[in-house]
């Protein structure tokens, strides 16, 4: 009964969070904010690749270790019970729009000892077949644009309950095949990036009188160079982001295990400013470097510029433009996405999952419900997840399926956290 009550409380709090009016006491609501989506180059680097987190609303930052942790949080691999694992994932992508776009993901790790763990992954994104034409509509050629990312991972145990992780990444994006666009020669986008992750794991935690495993993790992902696809085009940010995850796993008996997970996620990319005829109205220019862009991303939301009855922006006496009170803060907070999920394992053989993801309608409006399941037999496991868009079938993400096959190739180490060597 305790576990049922805890489940209902957590689920209720999650839905209460999603249902809250975003204006709070400021009087500013989502309807008062303009559509101001943050876009990046190489967005495939931020697509969830695996079925486990994909079945829990993308709340994967603080989940127990697996080979797909290299995407979510490499540092947690220090606490892996299995010595090594390899997994393969496949996601048909945007099937509401086309039938030939997909994401494939291969990942693996090896635990050298209690202190050091290494791993790697390969992500391949196929954009299907595209026919290139000239300005008159004449066919130039058919091409199959693609992108890939190669990652090397290392996790280091600092203490019994603390670990850090670092990834090194190389990404390659070939969208045009070198075909000139509007008379300008194009080139592939090339990226060097890194992930930093930090984990605290307490396997003797208590929630009231309930014992379990508590995990808190922070990750900084895709910190890397800006990208341009021609010598004349501007350089754009890649999807740098920060995630803060918490999870609590409780085991009622030797057969049942229940995990609750909540993630807070946001891009570390400058928010587009508001311009009128090349005049900056509100916000800040995003024509800056990577580190400056990360720092600026926390305080550059332009908010809602006030207009008069004729639709013209209202100017203050000092020449600046009037912005609705609290709207800048409101927009900054709206850039935080929330993911929450729950997972139930029976006898470490069968699992069911569900989760929900919320993004403000002013920042992309990705809002979906996920369900998933796993079946494990000896060293093999297969995961499956399904995404149902809360915005209806018009969402290109609706009905997204993910499949993951996992293979334990190294046996089991220990069930308790130990001091590093």
Contacts of residue 162, defined as CB under 8 A and 6 or more positions apart, other chains included, come to: 198, 199, 200
Residue 16 lies in a domain: yes
Residue 293 lies in a domain: yes
Per-residue pLDDT at 190 exceeds 90: yes
Range of the domain at 115: 2-408
Per-residue pLDDT at 21 exceeds 70: no
Contacts of residue 30, defined as CB under 8 A and 6 or more positions apart, other chains included, come to: 22, 23, 334, 360, 361, 362
Average pLDDT, integer, range 93-103: 88
Whether this prediction's pTM lies above 0.85 is answered by yes
Domain harbouring 12, CATH code:
2.40.160.40
- By the 8 A CB rule, do 49 and 234 touch? no
Residue 158 lies in a domain: yes
Helix (H) or strand (E) holding 18: helix 2-19
DSSP-assigned letters across all residues of 62-98: TSPP-TTHHHH-GGGGGG-SBSEEEEEEEEE--TTT-
**Residue 9 has what pLDDT?**
42
User: Between 392 and 159, whose confidence is greater?
Assistant: 159
Q: What is the pLDDT of residues 118-132, one digit of tens each?
A: 999 999 999 988 877
**Residue 8 has what pLDDT?**
41
Q: What is the pLDDT of residues 227-239, one digit of tens each?
A: 998 887 789 999 9
* Residue given tokens 């929900």 in the structure block: 356
Residue 94 lies in a domain: yes
Residue 200 lies in a domain: yes
**Residue 416 has what pLDDT?**
56
Phi, psi for 166 (deg, rounded to 5)? -140, 135
Report how far residue 212's alpha carbon sits from residue 137's, in angstroms, rounded to the nearest whole number.
63
Q: What is the pLDDT of residues 200-225, one digit of tens each?
A: 999 999 888 888 999 999 999 999 99
Average pLDDT, integer, range 394-412: 87
Report how far residue 78's alpha carbon sits from residue 76's, in angstroms, rounded to the nearest whole number.
5
Residue 310 lies in a domain: yes
HSE-CB for 89 with a 13 A CA cutoff: 31
**Residue 238 has what pLDDT?**
97
User: Between 252 and 223, whose confidence is greater?
Assistant: 223
Least confident of 64-73, 92-101, 346-355, 408-417: 408-417
HSE-CB for 320 with a 13 A CA cutoff: 7
Q: How many residues does the chain have?
A: 421
Residue 414 lies in a domain: no
Helix (H) or strand (E) holding 331: helix 327-334
Provide the pLDDT confidence category of residue 31 given band limits of 50, 70 and 90.
low
DSSP-assigned letters across all residues of 332-345: HHHT-EEEEEEEEE
Report how far residue 221's alpha carbon sits from residue 60's, in angstroms, rounded to the nearest whole number.
13
Contacts of residue 25, defined as CB under 8 A and 6 or more positions apart, other chains included, come to: none
- By the 8 A CB rule, do 70 and 151 touch? yes
- By the 8 A CB rule, do 101 and 92 touch? yes
Residue 421 lies in a domain: no
Q: What is the pLDDT of residues 258-307, one digit of tens each?
A: 999 999 999 999 999 999 888 899 999 999 999 999 999 999 999 999 98
Domain count of the fold of the chain = 1
Report how far residue 37's alpha carbon sits from residue 58's, in angstroms, rounded to the nearest whole number.
20
Phi, psi for 32 (deg, rounded to 5)? -85, -10
- By the 8 A CB rule, do 375 and 393 touch? no
């Amino acid at each position: 009964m305790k576990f049922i009550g805890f489940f209902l409380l957590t689920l209720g709090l999650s839905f209460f969070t999603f249902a809250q009016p975003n204006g709070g006491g400021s009087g500013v609501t989502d309807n008062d904010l303009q559509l101001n989506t943050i876009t990046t180059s190489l967005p495939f680097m931020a697509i969830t690749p695996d079925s486990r987190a994909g079945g829990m609303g993308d709340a994967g930052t603080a989940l127990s270790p697996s080979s797909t942790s290299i995407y979510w949080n490499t540092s947690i691999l220090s606490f892996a019970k299995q010595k090594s694992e390899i997994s393969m994932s496949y996601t048909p992508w945007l099937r509401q729009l086309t039938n030939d776009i997909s994401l494939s993901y291969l990942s693996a790790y090896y635990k050298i000892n209690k202190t050091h763990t290494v791993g790697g992954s390969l992500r391949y994104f196929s954009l299907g077949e595209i026919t290139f034409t000239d300005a008159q509509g004449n066919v130039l050629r058919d091409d199959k644009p693609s992108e890939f990312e190669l990652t090397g991972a290392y996790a280091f145990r600092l203490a019994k309950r603390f670990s850090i992780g670092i990834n090194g990444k190389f990404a390659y994006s070939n969208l045009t095949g070198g075909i000139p666009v509007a008379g300008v020669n194009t080139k592939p986008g090339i990226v060097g990036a890194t992930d930093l992750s930090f984990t605290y794991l307490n396997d003797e935690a208590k929630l009231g009188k309930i014992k379990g495993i508590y995990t808190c993790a922070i990750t900084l992902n895709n910190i890397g160079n800006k990208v341009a696809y021609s010598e004349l085009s501007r350089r754009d940010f890649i999807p740098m982001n920060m995630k803060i995850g918490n999870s609590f796993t409780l085991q009622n008996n030797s057969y049942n295990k229940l995990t609750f997970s909540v993630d807070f996620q946001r891009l570390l990319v400058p928010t587009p400013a508001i311009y009128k005829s090349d005049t900056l109205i509100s916000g800040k220019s995003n024509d800056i470097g990577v580190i400056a862009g990360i720092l600026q991303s926390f305080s550059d939301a332009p908010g809602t510029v006030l207009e008069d009855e004729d639709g013209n922006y209202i100017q203050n006496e000092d020449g600046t433009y009037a912005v609705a009170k609290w709207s800048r803060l409101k927009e900054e907070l709206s850039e935080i996405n929330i993911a929450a999920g729950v997972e139930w394992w029976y006898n470490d053989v069968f699992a069911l999952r569900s989760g929900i993801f919320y993004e403000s309608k002013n920042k992309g409006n990705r809002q979906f419900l996920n369900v998933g399941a796993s079946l494990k037999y000896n060293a093999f496991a297969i995961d499956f997840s399904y995404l149902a868009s809360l915005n209806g079938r018009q969402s290109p993400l609706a009905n997204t399926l993910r499949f993951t096959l996992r293979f334990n190739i190294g046996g089991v180490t220990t069930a308790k956290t130990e001091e590093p060597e």
